[in-house]
Structure 1
Amino acid sequence: MDSIKNLNWRYATKKFDNNKILTESKINILKESFRLTATSYGLQPLKMVVISNKTLQEKLQAATYNQKQIGTASHVLVLCIEKTIDTSYINKIQDLTKEIRNTPDTILEPYRNFLIDMFEKKSTAEIATWATNQVYLALGNLLTVCAQENIDACPMEGFESKKYNDILKLNQKGLQATLVLPIGYRATDDFFADLKKVRRPLNEVVLEIT
């Protein structure tokens, strides 16, 4: 039941204590949790930018409609999609699979060719939508791990992606900012910390078929 207790404890933190900084070990847990996130076809079309520079956080806050979570957080995680998922990218992932698992070519090659053919037929917009869906998987995973580790967080879609891309020079890295997750420790005077969690009743959100 600790998992349920921790999930009840978490909330979208609106005000962080900017004097409390996450340890390197905590950040490393989140990095590894991000890396281990499940993704469609195992292609991992995403990267996470970890920011702890306060001057940079202030610039990003201005590009997040001045929401103060960005400036007061211990760290800001920017979840990005890879802008190019092509044959070269797929080959790189499949080669890694072969290296790690020693998968025979007789098994790997048909799957490699299937992926290449499928993604060649997708438009740039379709690939971006698919990749964005994977970022949301990563966000859910990170929020759960944050709850388990008693790390406060606030998932955010409300930011200007283009400005983030410019500030962090993401275009040069082939990335596009998709979601933002400021993390740290809640301020003692955050009004939202003591509000009861509002969720639909269990019998309205879970259907059991026997």
Structure 2
Amino acid sequence: MNIIKNLQWRYAVKKYSDEQVSEDKIDEIIEAINLTASSCGIQPYRLFVITNPEVRQRLGEGSFNAQIHASSHLLVFAGFNEITTDYITEYVEMMEQQRNLEKGGLKILEDTLIGYFSTHTPGQNVIWSDKQAYIGLGTALIAAAELKVDATPMEGFDPKLFDEVLGLSEKGLHASVILSLGYRDAENDYLASAPKARLPINEFSTKIN
């Protein structure tokens, strides 16, 4: 399978070249993230794609991850702080329209979701949204590998700084996880030629028949 070969090729790049990723490839990665799974299907996070060098330099202040500012593109996955009734209603209405259903055709789903999230605390909403953002991150890594675009997922950033610089709090969002995209500097990245180290499959996985 090509996907296995591409994932064997993939690694978390430590040093990027100056080569820029084409917008066509970036758009494919964004679309893949948009198409990925999310619990209840309601996509409780948003994606910010940042190329502005001044913004990225500011976002990288105090972080040991130079990839924040030294790659081609930076993706910021920003989770919802709250899952509101209004959001659920609007999202379900969109689903009805896209599936050519009558208004109210998904009323049972809407009521179920509203009832479910009404029992969540703000902290539970944040954790739940972060978990969904990580599903999108996984899809982004696979999509990038398929396109032979290098990527580095990162938690080593200042979320409060990201929230401030990108105005996320005002949007009801918070920075969950970030991903740099670009092309490896193979001559200067000490991991570029290192063999991938993973557990043997029979130690990593267990089949229960």
TM range (shorter): over 0.9
The residue identity in structure 2 corresponding to 1:122 is H
In structure 2, C-alpha distance between the alignment counterparts of 1:16 and 1:55, rounded to whole Å: 18
Q: Which residue of 1 aligns with 2:7?
A: 7
In structure 2, C-alpha distance between the alignment counterparts of 1:118 and 1:147, rounded to whole Å: 36
Equivalent position SS for 2:192: helix
Equivalent position SS for 2:153: coil
Equivalent position SS for 1:192: coil
Equivalent position SS for 2:179: strand
Q: Report Cα offsets for 1:170-189 as digits up to 9, x if no partner.
A: 11222111101011000122
The residue identity in structure 1 corresponding to 2:67 is Q
Residue-pair matches, total = 208
In structure 2, C-alpha distance between the alignment counterparts of 1:66 and 1:164, rounded to whole Å: 15
Q: How many percent of aligned residue pairs carry the same amino acid? A: 36
Report the Cα offset of residue 200 of structure 1: 0.7
Report the Cα offset of residue 102 of structure 1: 2.4
Would you say 1:79 and 2:93 are equivalent positions? no
In structure 2, C-alpha distance between the alignment counterparts of 1:200 and 1:130, rounded to whole Å: 29
Q: Which residue of 2 aligns with 1:125?
A: 123
Report the Cα offset of residue 106 of structure 1: 6.7
Would you say 1:198 and 2:181 are equivalent positions? no
2:134 pairs, out of 133, 136, 146, with: 136
The residue identity in structure 2 corresponding to 1:11 is Y
Task: Between 167-176 and 140-149, report the one with greater CA deviation.
Answer: 167-176
In structure 1, C-alpha distance between the alignment counterparts of 2:91 and 2:177, rounded to whole Å: 24
The residue identity in structure 2 corresponding to 1:190 is D
CA RMSD of aligned residues (A): 1.3
In structure 2, C-alpha distance between the alignment counterparts of 1:172 and 1:107, rounded to whole Å: 33
More helix by share: 1
Report the Cα offset of residue 100 of structure 1: 0.8
Question: Gaps (5+ residues) in structure 2?
Answer: none
Give the 5 Å matches for 1:7-86: 7-17=7-17, 19-63=18-62, 65-86=63-84
Q: Report Cα offsets for 1:152-206 as digits up to 9, x if no partner.
A: 0100011110011111111122211110101100012211111111111000122
Q: Which residue of 2 aligns with 1:208?
A: 207
In structure 1, C-alpha distance between the alignment counterparts of 2:126 and 2:173, rounded to whole Å: 11
Q: Which residue of 1 aligns with 2:160?
A: 162
TM-score, structure 2 normalization:
0.95
In structure 2, C-alpha distance between the alignment counterparts of 1:97 and 1:71, rounded to whole Å: 37
In structure 1, C-alpha distance between the alignment counterparts of 2:27 and 2:84, rounded to whole Å: 30
In structure 2, C-alpha distance between the alignment counterparts of 1:132 and 1:70, rounded to whole Å: 20
Equivalent position SS for 1:155: strand
Would you say 1:180 and 2:148 are equivalent positions? no
Q: Report Cα offsets for 1:102-137 as digits up to 9, x if no partner.
A: 235675111111110110111111111111110110
Question: Gaps (5+ residues) in structure 1?
Answer: none
